[in-house]
Amino acid sequence: MANTPQAKKRIRRNDRRAEINGARISRIRSFVKKVETAIAGGDKTAAAAALKDAQPELARGVARGVLHKNTASRKMSRLSKRVAGM
């Protein structure tokens, strides 16, 4: 258990950051899900629009440190490939 004031502060800070980062990841997943739903529905224009909205969200996730650069790149590549193949 944390004994020093700094360790206690660190625990509080980590809890706050985990909550914020969880919200960010959830938001990114929602945008990706919109693209996947549009692809499943067969609507290419909606899928392309959703993909255009999802790209900056993935990039923001990388910038904020909640996603690895290669992970975001891989997700974007796979989604783009699926939209283009419709």
Which residue ranges form the domains of the chain, and what is each CATH number?
5-84 (1.20.58.110)
Residue 1 pLDDT: 74
pLDDT in tens, 3-60: 899 999 999 999 999 999 999 999 999 999 999 999 999 999 999 999 999 999 999 9
Tell me the angle at which helices 5-41 and 44-64 cross, rounded to the nearest 10 degrees: 170
User: Measuring CA to CA, how many Å separate 37 from each of 72, 82, 83?
Assistant: 19, 12, 11
Quote the pTM value.
Answer: 0.85
Query: 43: Cβ–Cβ under 8 A, 6 or more apart, which residues?
Result: none
DSSP calls for 11-26: HHHHHHHHHHHHHHHH
**DSSP assignment letter at 70:** H
Using 50, 70 and 90 to split pLDDT, how confident is the model at 2? confident
